[in-house]
Amino acid sequence: GAGVSQSPSNKVTEKGKDVELRCDPISGHTALYWYRQSLGQGLEFLIYFQGNSAPDKSGLPSDRFSAERTGGSVSTLTIQRTQQEDSAVYLCASSSRQGPSSYEQYFGPGTRLTVT
Amino acid sequence: AQTVTQSQPEMSVQEAETVTLSCTYDTSESDYYLFWYKQPPSRQMILVIRQEAYKQQNATENRFSVNFQKAAKSFSLKISDSQLGDAAMYFCAYYNFNKFYFGSGTKLNVKP
């Protein structure tokens, strides 16, 4: 596709339920990032993928959070046993490691997660 | 640890005027990248401008330019001839070692 896409755009879930958030990066982008943006705040780094591997998981806030990436493309962020403090916008970004635009991140529109 | 600070939570500018958004960062590295991103109410983050730390020349993209002061670890964004469409949250970001660090953002209001 032309840009990074994320689904769903909005998700409302009950406390304690599991949720899966999906990110489709720009074709050919090897790097993929997940961020969390709480209301009125900046972006909090969660995890970074290079290809299918995640060399940096340091931002995942707890073991309820996990992410995977398959085929060097689609990534899924899973939150188990959701809590109200998980409510936020989850942003995905991808970037290329080559050429003049290397390291520039291209963001998806985000998924707004609301835990009730 | 690297930190990025945007000390202006909100700013206002008159249409067609010039405004400067401030950003400072803390790092012990000598080679890194700096970015300004714009986030309108649609939530879509858009790259405004980037600066490589090894370049002394300040980056410019049309009405947007930066004042990069490496020794002072300062990276401000100047918007000239402000337009209504410039109204958004602006985030300063630092990149090194596969990781991005974002400031808390500055909300820019543009008055007609």
Per-residue pLDDT tens for B8-58?
A: 999 999 999 999 999 999 999 988 999 999 999 888 889 999 999 988 899
Peptide bond into B41 cis (omega under 30): no
Task: Please list every residue in chain A whose beta carbon sits closer than 8 Å to the beta carbon of residue B37.
Answer: 107
Residues 6+ apart with CB under 8 A from B64: B36, B48, B49, B77, B78, B79, B80
Average pLDDT taken over every residue of chain A: 90
CB B9 within 8 A of CB B108: no
Joined tokens for residue A103: 């390291």
A31-60 pLDDT, tens digit each: 999 999 988 778 898 998 988 888 888 889
Instruction: Tell whether B89 lies on the interface with A, counting CB pairs under 8 A.
Output: no
For residue B112, pLDDT beyond 70: yes
Q: Are B91 and B4 in contact (CB under 8 A)?
A: no
Compute the nearest-CA separation of A18 from chain B (Å): 24
* C-beta atoms of B103 and A42 within 8 A: yes
Using 50, 70 and 90 to split pLDDT, how confident is the model at A7? very high
